[in-house]
Amino acid sequence: MRPRLRQRGALLITLLAASVMAYYYVAMLLPATRATESHPTIGRSSFGNDFYQVWLTSRECLPHRLDPYSLDVTHEIQTGLFGRALSSSNPDLRPAEYRAFPYPAFVDMFGLTVAWLPFSTAKIVLAVILPFLTALSVFLWSRGLRWNTYLSVLTIFIGLTLSSYHGLEALYALQPGLIVGFLLSAAIAALVANKLRLAGCLLAFATIKPQVSILLTLYLLLWAFSSWQKQWKFALTFLVTLAALSFSAMLVWPTWMVGWLKAMAKYPGYYSRPPLLSDIFGSYLGGALLVLTLAAAIKFAWRSRRAPATSFQFGLTVSFLLAITTITMLPEHAVYDHIILLPGIMMAVRSWRTIWAQNFIIKWVFVLANGTLFWPWVAAPVVILTRIVAPRLTSTILFLPLRTAAVIPFIAVGLLYLMVRQMKDNEGAIVLESN
């Protein structure tokens, strides 16, 4: 009876924490951000603005074969988002190409599912679908990582994921990265279930955001080619599906790859923030750390190239590469793509007893990691209470719950690296906890 009471208590606390965090984000953070943001690109369609490009180009460019990467289409996107096209001649505005269509052209084929709806209606549909897919990805990751835990534990993960700052940012913007997160979780779950063709197809679809899936994709291809006789179906299906997606887009836009590559070359000009490593440590030290981090990832991926999909080492490699992606491949501002940290956090929770059994320093690192991770849910009630008791102080501590947002990816990478080191020291033998 007591375990059930503890589970119910934990679920109730999670529900309350999620509700408080959602209230803080919607009722306090968003209005304050708009009030203090003088830049016109804060826009009239900030809710759902990250999906607007996909919706518009699917609705306009695909039927009429318009180039989605053209400046005219970019201005049409800006007009829909900000009420007017932007001009580079005004120094107070973003570059003229700001908010240009940044995705591979075949993304529009997926966008057709809601392109026939008015955007106001499409946003409502997506506001229902994306949280559902995110919740489903939690269950899929548990299968892909072979973590047989209680339903209540996964429910807590869902509540905290959806109410995290990163999750709320992604949901409010209707970020396609949530779809990529779901596709990656489904692909890994399919691999573990030995459904190789399905996994290859799902991974090909996940390339709609290549910067999110690139490291994991390269590893899975290495993994497949290293045991070609067993895994050829996965690699072949991935390559054929990706080729089919690319070729079908060429039937509409024969030169779409050139336009997309040009858009990607200009992308750093739209968003000046580099990846987290370079942003925090500077261009020189950060660049060196980025190279070293990628080298460590490549080394571990090479060692794991023949790991069975059902093994702990495979799941750890997948989680480690996705965590490294957040600090090496994604722009600093792209917190909405940090949904891919989910498997890494699940791996750390799964093996918390193993981590806790280490020396005193690692224990304290683990405690600090947990404090950093749960800080937003602790700080949000403080900000809300301050608004009631001492309104004048609210602006001073408004952003308090977000202070650890940039640190969380490093925490995840650090914990996973400790697990990687332990696996190396124990020659692959690591004690696992099922709950």
Q: What pLDDT, on a 0 to 100 scale, did the predictor assign at position 424?
A: 65
The verdict on pTM exceeding 0.75 is yes
Residue with tokens 């996965």: 234
* pLDDT tens digits for range 150-161: 898 999 999 999
Summary mean pLDDT of the chain: 86
* pLDDT tens digits for range 209-252: 999 999 999 999 999 999 998 999 999 999 999 999 999 999 98
Alpha-carbon distance 343 to 258, whole Å?
A: 34
Per the DSSP assignment, residues forming a β-bridge with 331 are 275
Lowest mean pLDDT among 10-24, 37-51, 390-404: 37-51
* Stretch 174-196: mean pLDDT: 96
381 token code pair = 């009630």
Percent of the chain with pLDDT over 70: 90
Give backbone dihedrals phi and psi of 331, rounded to 5 degrees, phi first: -60, 155
Render 28-72 in DSSP notation, one character per residue: IIHHHHHHH---GGG-S--TTHHHHHHHHIIIIIHHHT--TTSHH
Asked if 231 and 224 count as a contact pair (C-beta separation under 8 A), the reply is yes
Residue 5 predicted with pLDDT over 80: no
What is the Rg, in whole angstroms, of the alpha carbon atoms belonging to the chain?
22
43: left (phi over 0), alpha (psi -120 to 50) or beta: left
In degrees, to the nearest 5, what angle opens at C-alpha 371 toward C-alphas 365 and 374?
A: 140
Asked if 101 and 69 count as a contact pair (C-beta separation under 8 A), the reply is yes
Which residues, other chains included, contact 57 with Cβ-Cβ below 8 Å and sequence gap of 6+? 68, 73, 77, 101, 108, 111
Percent of the chain with pLDDT over 90: 51
Q: What pLDDT, on a 0 to 100 scale, did the predictor assign at position 75?
A: 87
* Stretch 292-298: mean pLDDT: 92
Confidence of residue 42 (pLDDT cuts 50, 70, 90): very low
Q: What is the largest CA-CA distance in the chain?
A: 69
Residue with tokens 């498997």: 343
